[in-house]
Amino acid sequence: MAGGRRPAGLALGWGCCLLLCCAAASRLEISMPPVVEVEVGGTARIECNFYIPENASYTYIDWFYVDRSNKQVRLYHVTANGVLEDDTDYRKRLSLGEDKALSISAVTLQDPKIFMCQVGAGSYGVGENSTELSVYKLPVTPQIEPNSAGISVHSYEIPQIARCVSKNSFPAPNITWHKNGEQLHAQENQVTIQATLTRESSGLYTVSSALYAPVTREDRHSRYHCTVHYWLRGQRRSLDSQPVQVNIFYPAENLKLKVMPSSTLVKEGDNVTLVCEADGNPPPVFSFFKKNLDEWEDLTSLAEPDSGVLRLHDVNKTSNGTYRCQSLDLDDMSQIEEDVDLVVNYIEGVHVKMEPSSTLSEGDSVMLSCDAYSPVGLKYQWRDDKGKKLVEGNQLFVKNLTLEKSNTFSCKVMAPSVPGLEQSKKVSVAVEGKPRIVAISSPLYVRQDEVINLTCKAVAFPPPTVQWSINGTAHEYVDNQHIASNLTVRVSHDLVRAGAMCRMFNKHGASEERIQLVVDQKSTAESQGVIIVAIIVAILVVAVLGAVIYFLHKKGKIPCGRAGKQDITKPEARKDKIVVEVKSDKLSEEAGLLQGANGEKRTAADQ
């Protein structure tokens, strides 16, 4: 700098004064940081601080770097007259600060070198110092890949647990392994760590490491991770990968066979599932058996494949017994067995006893007794045919039996200790008696020649034979002691006069009833009225027609001929007139109709 001032050395001079060394300094001193670290792509700034005695000024400042052959290559020459930049590979990336600090932009992996600062101070001589430029690229979080195939505890070789990779860093980092948070170290025949260092075309490093170690059953819960270590500004730093678990294969040590559902007692008709569970990985091969006497029946074909589940549908008392689940580990061919007893609660042999058991007649009484067998306690209940509860207990006494009343009863058998376990037995008490007609379609209003249905209903047992006094198409319907017969016939005068007789009989006797048919007078009167109205209308039509003819005759427009005809013709000039021909025999017919309707003879002229 001009004027003998030296701002570039001011910092060092101020530092020396703090150390009480200013008075003792009698020579040129150059101060530079030993190392400057900068990340790839960043800007490196290298300072050159100097002290000249007696506040003298520098003559020149030169910046150099040391190439691979240890030759100094000048970058800058600074004097009081100006700054001269030499033509080097750094020319476009170099700059010089006001304090004469050297800056290098867009640092690359080729830039790590020794950079030197040389200061000339006239009579105080020449001084120089150097800084090492260190370039780095921070590693990214390492990627870990566990063994995807799984590892067996019976592996004959030390298996690979996982592989860790750290890409694109500088300088090359190193990788360590950890299990459940504790670092693993290489041990002969125990833990092996294989590391690989690769320098990419970019100059950055990729480091990979593989961990090999034996595993046990307990390692199914172990978590592994790798750590990348690197140095930055004199301090050791690290990045951890995500923790991973490895699929460990081990044989089963414990086997459990369960009956589902387990919360309720099993009853006949239920669906039962036997579930076999083992603590091996992968699950072993399961087989199911049922003990029959001294032999075991193989039920494996009925089980769901590779699931350890056997489903039993609609179980009954034959499903009772001991069931066995057997597991087979395909890795070491070890087997484990477990048995369970299945108890199916049931009710069987429900029957009803009737006393007396002989034939019953109307007015008799009967005692019904219900019984059944079950390995658990039973409760009985009687209900009628509509489901209404009649009595608790296994006996029902019925008195005053009749044919009309339903004599169907149901015995419901229940097991209170097994919810839902119940059975029912229906019984019909047969009451015998001669037919008794309870309903007939009489009197029945009919019209002549219409087709009608005659109905006759009765109660009887045994079912009676039905006889009708007339012919027709008969249909019979039987419901327990009730019988109904429908006869389809056509109404005639004889049927109306005699009526129809319904007769029913069985071995106990017979009953008969007559159905009376009555002609519907209202319908007949309506028919006669229709005929009278038709006759009156006809008379009015004829009367009007006769008046028209008489009017035309008086006007001279209807000439009468001897042949008994009256011709009405249209003149040639009147083509819009209508020609009407009336025959005398027609008039005779009309006259006769009038006479028949009024009871007296009238001439044609009177019409």
pLDDT above 90 as % of the chain? 60
Question: What is the model's pLDDT at position 524?
Answer: 54
pLDDT attached to residue 428: 87
What pLDDT, on the 0 to 100 scale, is given for residue 24? 39
Contact by Cβ (8 Å): 553, 545: no
- Per-residue pLDDT, averaged over 133-144, amounts to 93
Asked if pLDDT for residue 307 goes beyond 70, the answer is yes
578 versus 349: the higher-pLDDT residue is 349
Distance of alpha carbon 265 from alpha carbon 378, whole angstroms: 15
| Options 2.60.40.10, 3.30.420.40, 3.90.78.10, 3.40.50.410; CATH of 433-519 | 2.60.40.10
Whose tokens are 């091996």? That residue is 280
Picking from 40, 249, 274, 60, the residue whose alpha carbon sits closest to that of residue 139 is 40
Q: Residue 10: is its pLDDT beyond 80?
A: no
pLDDT of residue 22 exceeding 80, the answer is no
Q: Averaged over 315-327, what is the pLDDT?
A: 93
Summarize the confidence of residues 413-422 as an average pLDDT.
93
Report, at the CATH architecture level, how domain 255-342 is classified: Sandwich (2.60)
Q: What is the pLDDT of residues 32-87, one digit of tens each?
A: 999 999 999 999 999 999 998 888 888 899 999 999 999 999 999 999 889 999 99
**Residues found in the chain:** 607
Residue-averaged pLDDT of the chain: 84
Interacting residues of 574 by C-beta distance below 8 A, sequence separation 6+: none
In the prediction, which pLDDT does 16 show? 37
pLDDT tens, residue by residue, 118-127: 999 888 889 9
What pLDDT band is residue 427 in, cutting at 50, 70 and 90?
A: very high
**pLDDT at residue 601 above 90?**
no
* DSSP code for 187: B
Place 602 in a pLDDT band, splitting at 50, 70 and 90.
Answer: very low
- pLDDT tens per residue, range 467-520: 999 999 999 988 767 899 999 999 998 888 888 999 999 998 999 999 998 987
CA distance 31 to 9: 9
Q: Please report which helix (H) or strand (E) contains residue 253, including its range.
A: none
The whole-number pLDDT of residue 232 equals 86
Task: Reply yes or no on whether the pLDDT at 271 is more than 60.
Answer: yes
Kind plus residue range of the DSSP H or E element containing 380: strand 379-384
- pLDDT in the model for residue 53: 86
Domain ranges of the chain: 29-136, 140-249, 255-342, 348-429, 433-519
Residue 433 confidence (pLDDT): 87
pLDDT at 566: 43
- DSSP E strands in 241-330: the ranges are 248-249, 255-260, 272-278, 285-292, 295-298, 309-312, 321-328
Q: Do domains 255-342 and 348-429 have the same CATH topology?
A: yes
- pTM, rounded to two decimals: 0.57
CATH domain 348-429 topology: Immunoglobulin-like (2.60.40)
Question: Where do the DSSP E strands lie in 233-284?
Answer: 235-240, 248-249, 255-260, 272-278
CATH architecture of 29-136: Sandwich (2.60)
Structure tokens at 262: 């387990």
Q: How many CB atoms lie under 10 A from the CB of residue 15?
A: 14
Q: Would you say residue 20 has pLDDT above 80?
A: no
The CATH class of the 140-249 domain is mainly beta
CA 413/CA 397 separation, integer angstroms: 17
pLDDT of residue 45: 96
Residue type, 157: E
Please report the pLDDT score of residue 30 as a whole number: 92
Confidence at residue 416, expressed as pLDDT on a 0 to 100 scale: 93
Q: Look at residues 217, 336, 226, 357 and name the one whose alpha carbon lies nearest to residue 281.
A: 217
Statement: residue 94 has pLDDT above 50: yes
What confidence tens digit (pLDDT) does each residue in 555-576 have? 766 655 544 444 444 444 433 3
Q: Who wins on pLDDT, 7 or 307?
A: 307
Q: What is the pLDDT of residue 11?
A: 37
* Sign of the torsion formed by the C-alpha atoms of 456, 460, 461 and 465: negative
